[in-house]
Structures are given as structure tokens and as C-alpha cells.
A and B are shown apart, each in its own frame.
Chain A
């Protein structure tokens, strides 16, 4: 068990004991953490790896495993696993570079060969080469099979979908029979040095095939992996000589300079890792958390780590795999919760967006940002997504239908329908056509294309279930400035003016964009403190609710132990009240139902995920502007505000008509809908009767009744639907539990374990512990990716342009590239440190950490943790007051000096509140200092903005750039005089 960037003992309090106890059952635990964290205490080995450098360590682990367990010696279990469950045997084309050399290209598609170009979805089906016959084969299970008309071919059977013959795919070309291979020079990138990216030329085995466009060289993704990892079979080129070669990636010696950990430690770890996987058939696992996640290149860290897991056959094995401990927002009973949460029972699409993009744009942090290539090395700057300013990429992403954007246009969604109608559009189609035309003619724009236009920015902000102004607000001081127009301590300069091309720049902009902020909250947290209206919400012990996360397999009831205190109300009642008043007001403002045009991105798990085999921009004339294909999906929908309250309090008919679905797997519920109405409260209005949702408890019952996770019949139906897609009968997984029905009263008696469904990839039948992807492995259900397998090779052209098509290492930001300290004073007597905000003790982010009891058990304040020798340098003693600042803002707090913190780092645990004990800052003119996010800014990696391409397609809470905050630098200096 490896624990990476996750402080299980401190932040996973309830289930930490399982990890501790696993050791007594014979598990070895290795903890990777720059500080001696709480979880390090239970490790057999603690590896004090330098912060943010985990990728370097794990790339070297991959190097050792590939060399010793694939090349020097073959491991049957590993090989058979990656042949079946990874993309490693798939064929990749080689493209010519500008020089004489070749570079990895796209997976070879059926559309490129004469013999297969006519098959359905030929752009989305890929080849392997069969060991015995030496012939090309298209295995089942690719995204093309997923969305073709003939169902039943989306599975992981080792068969050729063209002939139905059994196949055994080739990994190493030198093992293939009947083909003649040769060695060619292929270009790889070494990003180790940010200032000086090296191009490496490594010989790779390839063979030639005849495509529609003439002969092309291809190889397997596995051959490219070996070359990328620097594992040679004496074939020549820039390969490292041995493990001790520090100059070339990714040897154990190479990683030392980044991680501070010796090559020997890597080698020993890798050997034990693989040996354990062999003797247990894959029971090695990694717990990975925010410490590894919140870096700019977090994807590379994760990929470097999951690669050895896949190479050792650990993913989808009970007791093995990657356990991702960040973000628990995914609710188990999604199919029935979604319609209620997003109003899908009455219409749609829902208006959802990834928050990092929203805030980057609207809190105007993009204005203080430069081209992203200043912090991110890429392989090919000539690609449209691999150069320029981040906000430009965001604009491209929105107009290409990759990411959502709110507000949507620089005119109201209602107005554009009115306008189209008055210009003669009659049908919805005509309305859409007229909107497309206006977009093309630039008479209408997406709001992101002109974020500071008063028509484009958000005005009203409801905050619910979050501390959105501080705890999660990367770039908090910009929120204060641009959203609230209030005091703030940011001093950074605007830099985007000369750089942006796709968005409009205004030299002077209005600050204080939000006219109204309403916060539903049961705490006086920092967001409540800065809101116009606080609606006091009931706590967990004052209301009915359900509690589930993707971190455990139980569903818990919340019940009122006491009625809500004072004026507070349950969230359900608050929103219901807002709906009621909106309905009343709409009599005045919207007498009749109105129409609006809503755009939504090309969604994952829908046929739209095969919309864009290549990146083309309609605005530049590279393709037609086609909604749902080259641009967002457009839909004209009715809004019936007068009946908002009625709709809110009844389960709408769309659920009955259309059934429910998650991840593209659907089940019918019409009979259950009728059955539900027979024995539960109903509501009748406008002559129709629906299941009532007046009370939170009723909403809970509906969720339980209609979710596959809590209703065995629906789990059964969901597996029937899944079986239809795969052509394999999976219903046995739901057979035994088919009669299970969970009601709220059942949960009150005892929290229940959710049922096995196709929506969660583990199998929990017969008391099994949840382990993700077990269904994929045991049931041959494809992963929802391009090839249907786990992808180590990502062939999207943007990935290739970024040089991230294969697992790789890119350095974290430096003080210079991060540009956090351009204007801040850096006198002697101060320290410059890398600033981290790990998850804290007794906090769920900012919640509970600020209760008096927890403050008493800590230091009465959220201190900044410093290394003792670092603190000595500036004469700071334990519990002394200090100022921590950079161009984004300032924090005044006390120092907590400890030898368990490494030098060069400052920690402020996530997250403090501005409400308690915050002094004024001398450094920033005696204005009130801020919280931990006063020192961060939003930095988006445009790579995560792409869309319409299998797994790279938007889904709420699944895809989009993340808010990262670890690549931050601060100045720390003593604060002699404390003033409140």
C-alpha cells in the first residue's frame, strides 16, 4: 500500500483504522509525504519526497518495472492483463516531424484502411495485431462500438469484431509473427528542464501498412511506452545506459534531483511492488489525495502513479488499484437524485458549469495572468490549443462545445429567442439557425468572449453548501475585488491586455460585478460574512436528508434530533420558499410560459462524445458551425415560472416517460412511478397528479425508490440495459438483490449498503469490499474511453501538442515562473517559501475547524507551520505572529514551528475563516488580512478544456480544468505589533 499526498490519519478519520489494521494483516505501508505527516506514523517506510515531485519518483518506478518485469523477464500475469485491459496493444501511427524524424500520432483508425473504412463509426474503431496470424484486428469495445446501431459489441472480449475470431494481441513487435519490422528514429520529449526542453531521438520498432493515403508506419502503444520510459532492448538512440544514468529520463538516478530520494529507494520499492503484485495477482494499491492532486501538472502525477498499477495488473482487483481521496461530491443514487437536483423531471438541460473556469473568467483573474506557456512546457506550440493565453483557450473551448459557460451569451437567453422570432424564425430549428448565424456574424457572442461586458457577467449569486468566497475561492482577494468591489489586498498587475486574442480586452473595468449574494448557511462563515442576505439553514441534526459519497458504499439517513433552531429552515424548505415567491412574482413578470435558448457542451456518455475526431474551429472557417457537432448543443426550452413552485413540489412526468439513466445506461420506471403514487403522498395541480415532494422526507423517499442503488428491481433493469450494450449477461450481479427496496425507515433502523449497479464499477455483492473497476475486469465491461480500455496513451492532438500523450514528467512551477512575488517586498529578515494548504485536522475544509472546541484543542487560530531552522533565520519563535504575503494578498497569523515540516515550505491547513482572530496587515496598509486563499490564484491548464472526444468530453464533476493551488510562493516575515 502506497499513500501519496493523502494524510489518511488526519483527514479520513472514520476509516483510517482500516489502513492501520491492514498492516497487521500483513500489508506493508509506504507513505510519500514531504512532511512527517500524521499518516507517516503508521508507515513501514516514510519517503520524505519533495513536494509536487511524485511524478518523477513514479516514472522511475515505471522504468524499473518495464525493464525488469516486461523485458528482462516476462511476467505472464502482467502481460495478459495489459493486453486485455489497457490500450497497450493498440496500433499508433507515426507522423513526420518537421525534421527527418517521426513522432507518435493517432491510433490507427478503421477509417484509414480501405477494407474497413466503410464500417459504422470507422473513425472511432482501432486496431491491434494478432499474435498468431500477424493480422490486423479490431477488438470489440471501442467508443465506436459503444455508439453504433448494432448493440452488443461494446465489450472486452478478446475477439476481432470483424471476423468474430479469437485474438491474442501483440505488445512487443519483436514477438510478432508474420510481419516485418524495422527500427526508426522517433522523437520524444524531455521536459525535466523547464528552460530547455530536450528532444530525444529513440529508435522504435515499427512496421508498415497500406492505408488509404499510402503506406504508413505504425507501432504498438506498448513499444512507444518502452521508448518513452527509456527502456531499450539495445536498439540505439538516446536511451539511458542503466539505472545509474542521471542524465536521461526516467531512470532511478534521474529522479533523485527532483525528489531528493535515492535511486536505491526507487529500485527497491519498484521490485517489492511488482513482486507483491505477482504473488497476490494485483493486490497493490495506492491511496492518493489532494497533496498530489492540487498541482498544475496533477494529471501527470496521477498518470505516473496509475501506470505502475496498470502495468502490474492491480486496477479492478479487490484490494488493488488507485484509491483517489479527493472530492466526495459524487452521490451514489445519482439516477434519481439528478432529476430532483437539476429539475430534469420537468425539462432540461440543466445549467451546470465547472467552477474553476467560471471563477477564472468572472473574478477576472485572467486579467492578471499571462500566456500559459510561461508556466507549462509544450511539445508543439504551433497547435491552436498549445499556445497563447488561458482565457483564449477557454473561449475556444466554449464555442467548440467542449465546456459550458455562464452567462451564456452577451444577450439574455430569452431575448435571443424573442429576436429570432421577430426576425421571422418559426420553429425551434429556425431559431437555432438564426442564433448560429448571428454567432458566425459576430452579432452575438458567448459571454466568455467578452467577460467584462456588463451584459456578460453574473449578477446574482446563491451560495449553498459551500464556503465559496473563501474556502474554495482560489484567488479569494480577486473575488473581493471583482465580485464584491470591496477592500482587498491584491497588488498584482494586469498583464493580459496585449496577450489575449479571442476575448475582448477593456482597459478599465467595473469591479463589484455581483448585485446580490445570498448565502444558505448554518454557520457564520467567511462567505456568510460577505453576503447580502444570509438564509439560516438547518444543520444535519435538524432535518431529513440522505448522506452518501463515492468514498464508501453506505447510504445514511439524517434526521432531525431537534427542530431547526430559531428561524432556520431545512434547505428543502428554503428553496421551496424561494420557488413559491418566484411563482408569485412571475404573475407580474412572466404571465405565460416563455422560451429560451440554452446551450450545453458535447456530453460524455452520449453520442456527442464522438463528435470531433480532430480540433477544428468554425469561427476560423476550419469547419461548418453545426450545433452538437462543431459547437455546443442548442435547445429551445420552455420556462414556466408561474408553476415553478408546483413543479418543485412534485416529481415531474419526464421521469415516468423517459426513465432514468446515468453514464448512458438507462432503465424504465413508469410502473414504479405509478406504484409509488398508490402508497405515497401525491400532489394534484392543473388536473394532473404527481408524487408529492413538499417535504424533504418525501424527496428522500423518491430518491430511494427510483435509484438502482437502493431499489433492487432497478439495479436489475440497469444491468439488463448494460447487458444489451455489451452482449454479455450481467444480470446475475443483481439477481440476488432484485427484491430489495430501501425506504427511509429502513435506513433509520440501520444505514444500508448500496446495491451493486452498473453505475459504480465495484462489486459489493456477498460482503465484498468495494474496489473500483472490478466490473470492468470481471464482467468484461469496457471503460468509457476511446478504446474501451484503460489508456496509457492519449492520442488526442492537444495531448500530443502538449507532449502529454504518454506518461511524462513536467517540473512544478518555480518562484520565477509562478510570478506570485513580482511586486511584494522581499527584504532581508523575510523568508520566501513554497506555500501549501493541505487538508487540516478537525476540518472539513472550513467547517468544524472553527468551532470553539476544536480551536481550543489546536492553537486558537489556524497557524502557519514553519520548519524550525527556517523560522530561526528570521528570528521567529513558536507562536509568534507573522505576515505571510504575496502579490495576491496577505495572511496574518501565528507561527507553529516544528521540525516535522521540511525546510522551504509553509503550510496553512485548509482552511481558516476570516471571522475569528484576524489582525490587520502592516504590509498592506493596515487593512484586515485574509485567509489561506488570499495567497492563491486560479491557474487553469488548457489541456483539460478539450471535448467531444470519448473520455475527453464534458460531464458535470468529471471533466474540465481543476482549481490548483500548490504552485504558490509567499514571503513570510515577523509581525511585531498585532492590531485588530
Chain B
């Protein structure tokens, strides 16, 4: 066993309000520079929808992630983007990379015209111009183009996760009876089996030992862009100005000083949780070698119980500090993922072992339409699972590699907590039905209360359990701490250029 510590994450989608504050908090700090205009390390997608870059989930086109090859007993994971024959060719030309048209052409407006237009008999206006060419442009795409089902006929209807629905089911999804949407905020998953790292010819990408953050060493990156194809989540972007690739750094300069990453701190819906998970690095890739529908369960087998004395011993032996172990024990992520099993990875079938987990959302009950008169198809007090507006099949495609049982289990537990809390306060839910719900959700009053507290009324310290990082140890590994004195704190001395 090779125990590692990872700062991992949960996004509670039921709570996401689609405000995109997270995206802006990230953008303003990290990617508001030439060459990075189009990058959104954090973005929020409306689902159903095609996302950003458009149709990123279509791996038959983009070829991201790993493929499971080989026979029983000798299964292998191979990068989908690099088969032996063409990997060399693709160094120079890679047709599977998204182009500007899959992202968007960033723009601004010629505001000066409002001041400088010649006097005339009509009002001047500021027209859109390209941030790349400076020429007037026709805006046809953006980083959030299908927000709130904008252009649903082009985007939502072509969501690749709807594939398995029958034509009739699909059509229905866009009628009043079933129309629905949810939000999916995305950052780099800081995967435990990252295809981006594996793909880099220069070895510029690495997964940090102490906290599992996946980074690109800007000094080493040669701009090959193999990672861009290899990341199935399209969370690496190429900076056209510097000629290097960039990605989410989980605000590590903040984390290292005990602060909360920007997108987490600013999250208005309070959907985000951050904490340590201990996992067995030996099992990381291994656990990804099972059939799709077994992947969620299999991933869990790679996670370790931070209270188990054996694990603690091995962790310590591996250089994991007491602080990290304590953080792992207090971790909200461990609770969501392992204890309650209600947070699930996104598209685990890409087999990168993402370390960001999502609690799927409850959605309103579907309706019936007869002669222009609408009725909700409700037979319970709260919304219903089997008559939920987004089919379980769809959610399963996103969060459990198609395994509907897993989604159902999660949803039942979420509902059971609501019924439990209501009964406590109101005594107006039938007890027989209540008990049935609790049974089906596999939960107890104590657990329900715990889930409720962490979901609805957690304090900021309960949401974000940031391990104290002992930077001196990692600095030591690269240079003499004495030399680091007086540097900017990130650990490497790089004198800033000053002056005009």
C-alpha cells in the first residue's frame, strides 16, 4: 500500500444556484491576461447542454482519458489520445484538440465610439470587436453560451448524455411536462490517475506529492498540447501568448497559507466542500480497470479509512504529517464520499480517477398535460424520484458511468433526510412511509441529522477543512530553506520585474 493524501472536493449540486460567481472569482485572479482571455479554469454548465468547450464530453471526437484494453487478468489502461502509431505525428498536429470555434473568440466593444462619434442625428453605439484581431465581429459563441438552456434546440438537445434515451423520452424532455435543468460547476478534478500527466512528452505536468494538486511546470512546458487532448474534462488550456499550457492550480498559494481557494470561498450557494482524502496510490490506476458500471464502487476501494490505525501507521511511514491525518479525519469529503456515499465522481468512465465529487440534485416532479391543463404527477409529499424531471438514466450517465442503482441510492438517501427532518418538526408525514423511506435510503436518524447539518447549516470551517501544509519540508527538497528566506512564499525565488 502506498498511502497518499489528496486535497479533494465535493460540489453539492442540489445547492448550486448557477450564479457563476465561482467562475468570475477565478477569472479575475488567474486568467485576466492576454493569451488567457478564453480560459475558464472554473466554469459552470447548464445541463442538459453541451458545455464548454462545446461537446467536451464527446470522447469519440476529443479522445480524452483512458481506455480499458486487454483481457481479463491482463487489463491495461491506455491513453485514448495516443496510440502508438500516431502519437509522434500528433506531437505536431493534433486533430482532436478543440479549436477556437469550440471555445469562443473573446471580444470587447468599441466603447470609445460613445465619446468620439461625430455629431449626427442618431445615437452612437459601441459595437463588438474581437479581442484577438481588433476587428468588428459577430458574436456566435461564448464560454457559457447555453446557460439556462439558451438555444436548447442546438445545445441541450444535443447533450451527449441523452444518448441512451429513446427518441420519445428525449422529445418529452423539452416539453412543459419534463423541461428541467441543473448546473454543473467544473474545475480540474486533480485526478489520482491523471491522463494529462501521462500524456506530457516533456514531463511538465506533475501531481504534487503533499496534496495531490496537478500542476504544469511553466518552465518545463514546451507547448506540445498533448495534455489538452488527453484531459477528458478539457481543463487544460493553451495560452497563445506564452505558448504554454495552463490549468487550475487549486489556488495552491492560498491553500499553502491556510486560505480557501477562490472559487470555494466565493461560492454563494455554499455548495463547495474541501478536505483531505487518503488513498492508496497502488490502487489508483488498478481500481480504474473494471467495467464501467463497477467504477464508482471500485474507486471507493482505493480510499482509506483515516481512523484505521494501520492506515495511519502507513500514512506516517509515507511522510504524511499528523496535520494531514487529522484533516483527513475531519474531512467533509470523507463523509460525503465514503461514509454516506452520496457524492459521486463526474464521468468516472474516463478512468482518470477524478478527486472532485458531486452530490446530484433533486429536481421537481414531472407533470401531465391534458387539453392544455397542467397537473403535477405527484404522489408523495415532496418531489418524487421515479417521476423526477430529469431521468435517472441521465444522471447516471454523468455520475455513475451509467449505473442507475447508485444514483437511486443517493437520491433516496437525500429524500429520506428531508422526510426525517420534516417529521421531526411537523409530525405530518405518515410514519410507516417515513420508516420505509429511511430504510430505502439506508440511513438512520443520527446519520440523517448529520447529513442535514453538513448540507444545510455547516460553518465555513466545517465546509473547508484545510490541512496545515508544512512548506518547509517541500522547500527543503528543492533548495536550502535559508536561501528561500525573503522569497514570495511560493517556495522559489523569482525576482519580480519592476518599473516601467
Contact = CB atoms under 8 A, between A and B. Distances in A.
B123 A13 contact: no
Given A44-B383, A868-B152, A915 B422 contact: no
B374 A276 contact: no
B142 interface: yes
B156 A272 contact: no
Interface in A857-906: 857-861, 863, 868, 878-879, 896-900, 902
A35 to B, nearest CB: 9
A42 B365 CA distance: 10
Interface residues of B, number: 82
Interface stretch (A19-27, A289-297, A958-966): A19-27
Interface stretch (A150-158, A258-266, A513-521, A784-792): A258-266
Interface string A22-51: 111111100100001010111111111000
B143 A856 contact: yes
Given A41-B180, A857-B142, A262 B375 contact: yes
Interface in B420-472: 420-428, 452, 455-457
A261 B148 contact: no
Contacts of A28: 381-382, 422
Contacts of A27: 422
B234 interface: no
A859 B153 contact: no
A841 interface: yes
Contacts of B106: 856
Contact of A920 (B122, B140, B142, B153): B122
Contacts of A280: 425-426
A980 B156 CA distance: 32
Given A859-B145, A916-B125, A20 B421 contact: no
Given A878-B154, A879-B140, A26 B421 contact: yes
B269 A42 contact: no
A915 B114 contact: yes
Contacts of B123: 487, 529, 914, 918, 928
B142 A856 contact: yes
Interface string A239-270: 00000000000000000100011101100100
B425 to A, nearest CB: 6
A843 interface: no
B14 A914 contact: no
Contact of B148 (A260, A841, A855, A916): A841
A9 interface: yes
Given A13-B17, A914-B125, A878 B153 contact: yes
Interface stretch (B20-28, B240-248, B311-319, B479-487): B20-28
Interface string A164-176: 0000000000000
Contact of A9 (B17, B150, B417): B17
B122 A487 contact: yes
B144 interface: yes
Contacts of B15: 17, 20-21
Nearest to B151: A878
Nearest to B427: A279
B126 A36 contact: no
B144 A858 contact: yes
A97 interface: no
B111 interface: yes
Contact of A858 (B17, B142, B152, B427): B142
B301 interface: no
Given A41-B361, A916-B126, A920-B122, A857 B148 contact: no
B119 interface: no
A524 interface: yes
Contacts of A529: 114, 123
B232 interface: no
A920 B122 CA distance: 10
Contacts of B144: 857-858
A852 interface: yes
B353 interface: no
A39 to B, nearest CB: 9
B382 A899 contact: no
Contacts of A261: 373-375
Interface in A39-94: 40-48
Given A41-B364, A47-B376, A878-B151, A20 B269 contact: yes
Q: Which of A9, A47, A857 has the most CB of B within 10 A?
A: A857
A275 interface: yes
A24 B452 contact: yes
B18 A38 contact: yes
A27 B424 CA distance: 12
A17 B152 contact: no
B457 A21 contact: yes
Nearest to A980: B127
Contact of B14 (A42, A45, A879, A980): A42
Contacts of A23: 362, 418
B152 A897 contact: yes
Contacts of B373: 256, 260-262
Interface in B321-369: 361-365, 367
B127 to A, nearest CB: 5
Interface string A913-928: 0111111100000011
Contact of A26 (B127, B142, B422): B422
B359 to A, nearest CB: 11
B114 A487 contact: no
A621 interface: no
Interface stretch (B69-77, B171-179, B220-228): B171-179
A565 interface: no
B1 to A, nearest CB: 37
B277 interface: no
Given A261-B373, A858-B147, A878-B151, A268 B378 contact: yes
A916 B112 CA distance: 11
Contacts of B107: 856, 860
A877 B353 CA distance: 40
B218 interface: no
B374 A17 contact: no
A46 B269 contact: no
A861 B108 CA distance: 11
B381 A897 contact: no
Q: Which of B111, B180, B370, B426 has the most CB of A within 10 A?
A: B426
Given A26-B420, A262-B374, 9 more contacts: A20-B14, A26-B422, A45-B364, A45-B365, A46-B364, A265-B374, A275-B428, A897-B150, A914-B125
Interface of B: 14-15, 17-21, 23-24, 27-28, 106-109, 111, 114, 121-123, 125-128, 139-140, 142-145, 147-154, 156, 174-176, 179-183, 268-270, 361-365, 367, 370, 372-376, 378, 381-383, 417-428, 452, 455-457
Interface pairs A-B: 7 shortest CB-CB: A26-B422, A878-B151, A860-B139, A26-B421, A21-B456, A899-B174, A262-B375
27 contacts: A10-B19, A21-B455, A24-B14, A25-B421, A25-B425, A25-B456, A26-B424, A41-B182, A42-B362, A44-B378, A48-B176, A256-B373, A272-B381, A487-B122, A524-B111, A853-B27, A856-B142, A857-B143, A859-B139, A860-B128, A868-B174, A879-B151, A897-B153, A898-B151, A899-B175, A900-B152, A917-B128
Interface of A: 9-10, 13-14, 16-17, 20-28, 31, 36, 38, 40-48, 256, 260-262, 264-265, 268, 272, 275-276, 279-280, 487, 524, 529, 841-842, 852-853, 855-861, 863, 868, 878-879, 896-900, 902, 914-920, 927-928, 980
